[in-house]
Amino acid sequence: MKTIMNDAHIKTLDEVRLFLAGIGAVDLVIDTQEDRYVWIQKTLIRFRYRQLSKVHKGLLLSFLQKISGYSRIQIKRLVRRSLKTGKLQRCPRTVNGFACRYTREDIRLLAYTDELHATLSGPATKKLCERAYMIFGQTEYQRLAGISVAHLYNLRHGASYRAVRRHFEKTHACVSRIGERRPPRPEGKPGYLRVDTVHQGDLDGRKGVYHVNAVDEVTQFEIVCSVEKVSERYLIPVLEALLEQFPFIVLGFHADNGSEYINQHVAQLLNKLLVELTKSRSRHSNDNALVESKNGAIVRKHLGYSHIPQRWAPLINIFNRDHLNPYINLAISGSPHQ
């Protein structure tokens, strides 16, 4: 609010004290903010601020603060400026301190150039703008010819550029360093597992139970576990229980390239147990053929293909541990391990 106060009847510090106590009265008249500065200057002169004691100065500052609406620190700044320069004038805010050197037309021209040349690097784009203006005489590139590489990237990231053109780089494929890409080499020793995941189907967009199937390559000893989801929150505890159910020391863990097994959490678990992690090679579909055949012969045969909701995963896992796993490993014919 822009105001100026009619306080002509306040002439002494005692009247100022009465006003601050809420006894006196002041008429408020709407006016400009510049007149407020003039009023503060006149009040300081009228009460001879320089000659006042410290107590009276504080009293006058409280009066100025209450009437003007400024904060205490702002009043002190204005008083200090008035005492230093002898006058008090409002310093207006500069709306645009820095002029815009590159216009919207320049930004559109930069976007057009990037589209023609498939978004080259900053130095290469700068050189194109320089050649367009200096060699080929295209005057529209006059300002872009002198642009710095750093500011060129600033224009590319600005809202005006993105409103004209958007560019997305495709994801670059990289080699995962987790696990060794080779088939396991058991050399007749038990403990080298082939592991795969079997999904129990979707229903109306809802996922079903996941089965983790692990088969020893030499003895054909097999353990089946069930989880709600294949994230580390559900999978890591089940993998720990799965490895404990094998009657021999687990030496190897071979899986396909699925992210449920080839990740830092599984690698950390296997590394703690001194189990080597291997994964299937690209374009070698038979690297994990053993466990994939067991998926159909064991898991699908006993658990079927129908959708099973995820909430039944703990009960199915108990069934696998107490009934299915002993049955498939202790059948009448016996497994090679027996």
pLDDT by residue (tens digit) across 136-191?
A: 999 999 999 999 999 999 999 999 999 989 877 788 777 778 888 888 889 999 99
- The verdict on pTM exceeding 0.95 is no
Q: Kindly tell me if the per-residue pLDDT of 102 is higher than 80.
A: yes
Write the pLDDT tens digit of every residue in 63-97.
888 877 788 999 999 999 988 888 888 777 766 66
Q: 313 is written with which tokens?
A: 């995963």
How far apart, in whole angstroms, are the C-alpha atoms of residue 212 and residue 170? Answer: 33
Average the pLDDT over 36-43 and give the result. 86
Ordered DSSP codes for 307-334: --BGGGHHHHHHHIIIIIHHHHHS-SS-
Q: Kindly tell me if the per-residue pLDDT of 8 is higher than 80.
A: no
Average pLDDT value for the chain: 86
Q: According to the model, what pLDDT value does residue 176 have?
A: 73
Higher pLDDT, 241 or 7: 241
Average the pLDDT over 244-262 and give the result. 92
Q: According to the model, what pLDDT value does residue 37 have?
A: 87
Q: Residue ranges of the domains in the chain?
A: 3-85, 104-164, 182-329
How far apart, in whole angstroms, are the C-alpha atoms of residue 264 and residue 269? Answer: 9
Q: Could you tell me which CATH number the domain at 182-329 has?
A: 3.30.420.10
Tracing tokens 């009465």 back to the chain, one arrives at 18
Q: Name beta bridge partners: 28.
A: 5
How far apart, in whole angstroms, are the C-alpha atoms of residue 24 and residue 255? Answer: 89
- In percent, the amount of the chain with pLDDT more than 90 equals 52
Q: 53 is written with which tokens?
A: 């004691």
* Cβ–Cβ under 8 Å, residues 227 and 235: yes
* Cβ–Cβ under 8 Å, residues 87 and 41: yes
Q: Kindly tell me if the per-residue pLDDT of 30 is higher than 80.
A: no
